[in-house]
Amino acid sequence: MGVPTQHRGLVGLRLHAQPGDLARIAPLASCAYFLDVDGTLLEIKPHPEDVVADGTLRTLLAELAGAADGALGLVSGRAIADIDRIFAPLIFPAAGLHGAEIRCPDGTRSSPPDGAMDGGRRPIAGFVAAHPGLRLEDKGVALAIHFRQTPELGDEVLEFLGTVAQSAGLAVQQGKMVAELKQARHDKGKGIAALLANPPFSGRKPVFIGDDATDESGFLFVNARGGVSVRVGPAGIASDARYRLHDPVEVRAELHRLLAEG
């Protein structure tokens, strides 16, 4: 299956990956796999704390990591501690909080200093309290406002966070029914780059599968490295990813085929 060129950011030019494509274009023996969690490996739920991997998915990921000689990492907007909760007792290399936290394969970790969100924490808490239906998730080095229960407030949330970000020298990251205040220098592309610099990832072709606007920096990074980028979701969404899978069910099915054929 050929890769279209001159497609960046356009709608409808990504190819829908066919069954078995990953095994053909991105074999486990030579690739480094980076996987988003919510909306990619697992379905999104109204409450983030309700998301948990079942035994079938945990076994699949453990076997994929073994077949790739350990070159499998998780890349998420969640904190690494929350990633570990979802996949317990498994522990994977990970980039958490959109690349702000890194856990390398040897277990060494890096994270931003505390206090970056102090200037925004009180006004954001007040804004959320004044708008029933919004939910504040304090991740320490990022602050997320979930508006899944009140989608009509999405524009107002983004406008408010934009004002806070401008005054505090921070950035706003928009996702599916959520917007986050975070440090501008961190993104998933940089998180993948940090993991890829370490064995067993180094020297392999990077593959990144994600589902959201928060994953676009990762797609751009792996594209620049000659890798494979896959956006999860319906056709017609603008993305820099070069391939598409429809939903987490299709992702898991394709990963099973990758393991069987790769």
Going from the first residue of the chain to its last (262 residues), give the mean pLDDT of each consecutive group of 10, the final group possibly shorter.
36 66 94 97 90 98 98 95 97 94 93 74 90 88 88 92 83 85 86 97 98 94 97 91 95 96 78
- Boundary of a domain, candidates 182, 197, 212: 182
- Boundary of a domain, candidates 162, 182, 202: 182
Q: Is residue 200 part of a domain?
A: yes
Q: Which of the residues are catalytic?
A: 36
Q: pLDDT at position 12, please?
A: 37
Beta bridge partners of 174: 179
Q: What is the rounded distance in angstroms from the CA atom of residue 187 to the CA atom of residue 182?
A: 9
Strands 143-146, 94-96: pairing is unpaired
Q: What's the CATH number where 43 sits?
A: 3.40.50.1000
Q: pLDDT at position 119, please?
A: 76
**How many domains does the chain contain in total?**
2
Q: What is the rounded distance in angstroms from the CA atom of residue 176 to the CA atom of residue 262?
A: 32
Q: Is residue 2 part of a domain?
A: no
Q: pLDDT at position 198, please?
A: 96
Residues 73, 30 within the same domain: yes
Strands 143-146, 135-138: pairing is antiparallel
Q: pLDDT at position 113, please?
A: 66
Q: Is residue 198 part of a domain?
A: yes
Tell which residue, 105, 101, 81, 78, has the closest CA to residue 93: 105
Are the beta carbons of 54 and 150 closer than 8 angstroms? no
Tell me the CA distances in angstroms from 12 to 39, 115, 213, 223, 246, one per residue in order: 20, 42, 16, 18, 13
Residues 25, 75 within the same domain: yes
Q: pLDDT at position 121, please?
A: 86
Segments forming the whole domain that contains residue 212: 15-110+186-261
Q: What is the rounded distance in angstroms from the CA atom of residue 143 to the CA atom of residue 126?
A: 13
Taking the alpha carbons of 52, 70, 258, 62 in that order, is the dihedral positive or negative? negative
Q: Is residue 141 part of a domain?
A: yes
Other beta carbons within 10 angstroms of residue 239's beta carbon come to 27
Residues 122, 251 within the same domain: no
